[in-house]
């Protein structure tokens, strides 16, 4: 199993500026044709999947929070460690919030349906409706077998 461990050449203990520099170097190597872009993309996606699996583990989170408490508000291997509590609010039980959220989604759907570059007038209210500004971005879907 040790052969399958990810080797990142100490990336995690380098200062942030070095991490950014390393990323820029890799991008330049792709642009210069020194690195196969699809091969690199697949490697990055695989590493992201592994990291998501690790970070998503409750056991891992618990272990990291426990360990971080030892280094609270101090530097550790080039990073400043803070332990914070975040409050997450759920408005799902609020009827008015649900109504507003559904109305917002319906309005977005209606506006998207107008069509790019088009403007319409609502016959009942006289309100001028314009298609929302939109942009398109190409991306690559990767599904590992």
pLDDT single digits (tens) 46-97: 999 999 999 999 999 999 999 998 988 888 887 888 888 899 999 989 999 9
Looking at 11-20, 47-56, 105-114, which range is the least confident one? 11-20
Helix, strand or coil, per DSSP, at residue 80 = strand
Kindly tell me if the per-residue pLDDT of 32 is higher than 90.
Answer: yes
Is 86 among the domain residues?
no
pLDDT above 50 for 119: yes
R_g of the chain computed on alpha carbons: 24
pLDDT at position 2 is 39
Strand 128-130 to 79-81 pairing = unpaired
User: Does residue 100 lie within any of the structural domains?
Assistant: no
Region 12-26: mean pLDDT is 84
Residue span of the structural domain in which 16 resides: 2-81
Whether residue 124 is contained in a domain is answered as no
For range 127-145, the mean pLDDT: 82
Q: Note the residue count of the chain.
A: 145
Residue 32 belongs to some domain of the structure? yes
Q: What is the pLDDT of residue 8?
A: 52
For 28, the token pair is 């330049």
With respect to residue 45, please indicate whether it lies within any of the assigned structural domains.
yes
Domain-embedded: residue 67: yes
Secondary structure (DSSP) of 113-128 = TT-TT-EEE-TTT--E
């Amino acid at each position: 199993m040790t052969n399958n461990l990810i080797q990142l050449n100490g990336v995690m203990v380098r200062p942030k500026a070095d991490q950014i520099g390393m990323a820029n170097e890799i991008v330049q190597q792709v642009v210069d044709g020194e690195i196969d872009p699809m091969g690199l993309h697949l490697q990055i996606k695989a590493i992201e999947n592994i990291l998501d699996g690790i970070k998503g583990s409750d056991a891992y989170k618990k272990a990291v929070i426990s360990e971080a408490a030892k280094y609270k508000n101090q530097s550790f291997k080039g990073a400043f460690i803070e332990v914070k509590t975040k409050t997450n609010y759920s408005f799902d039980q609020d009827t008015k919030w649900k109504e507003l959220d559904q109305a917002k989604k319906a309005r977005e759907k209606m506006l998207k349906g107008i069509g790019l570059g088009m403007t319409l007038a609502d016959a009942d209210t006289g309100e001028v409706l314009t298609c929302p500004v939109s942009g398109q971005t190409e991306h690559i879907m990767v599904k590992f077998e």
